[in-house]
Amino acid sequence: MTKREEYEQKTEKLLIPIMEANGFELVDVEYVKEAGNWYLRAYIDKPGGITVDDCEVVNRELGDLLDRDDFIDESYILEVSSPGLGRPLKKERDFIRSKGEEVEIRTYRMVDRQKEFRGVLKAWDKDTVTIEYEDGQEQVFERDNIALIRLAFDF
């Protein structure tokens, strides 16, 4: 297990009681380096959407626990936010929640001379994801070739 994975898992464990106490859902935790800074990000959600106040509550409680446990070696910036539009589908519950919704898929390698696809999420398993196009045609993608799958959004 990498240090990054270890930090994410430990942070998730700290977040679970906070999520349960507030009726929130933990969507994802990531520990990433961007522009020379480390970020520890928690993405949370609830029916009807997350507010700034919700994020502040979780940030304060999580921050206190992280200060107490102090398991992250580097200095980092803690961010708590909603997953927002175009949230990536990563976990099984993301797929369950998004079944029947329009998704965008970006592939690593060309499929039918393109790398970007958009359709309704129909089915998935550990190896594949199936979407349906407006014309009723379905397409199956190998999970190994999916760089990104997220909810589609229109502006």
In this predicted model, what pLDDT tens digit does every residue of 96-150 receive, in sequence order?
888 999 999 999 999 999 999 999 999 999 999 999 999 999 999 999 999 889 8
pTM over 0.85: no
Where in the sequence of the chain do the CATH 3.30.300.70 domains occur? 3-81
Integer-rounded Cα radius of gyration of the chain: 18
- Express each pLDDT in 23-65 by its tens digit: 999 988 989 888 899 999 999 988 888 899 999 999 999 999 9
Cα–Cα distance, 132 to 150 (Å, whole number): 15
Greatest Cα-to-Cα distance within the chain, rounded to the nearest angstrom: 56
| Correct CATH for 92-151 of 1.20.1250.20, 2.30.30.100, 3.30.540.10, 3.30.70.100 | 2.30.30.100
At the topology level, CATH places domain 3-81 in GMP Synthetase; Chain A, domain 3 (3.30.300)
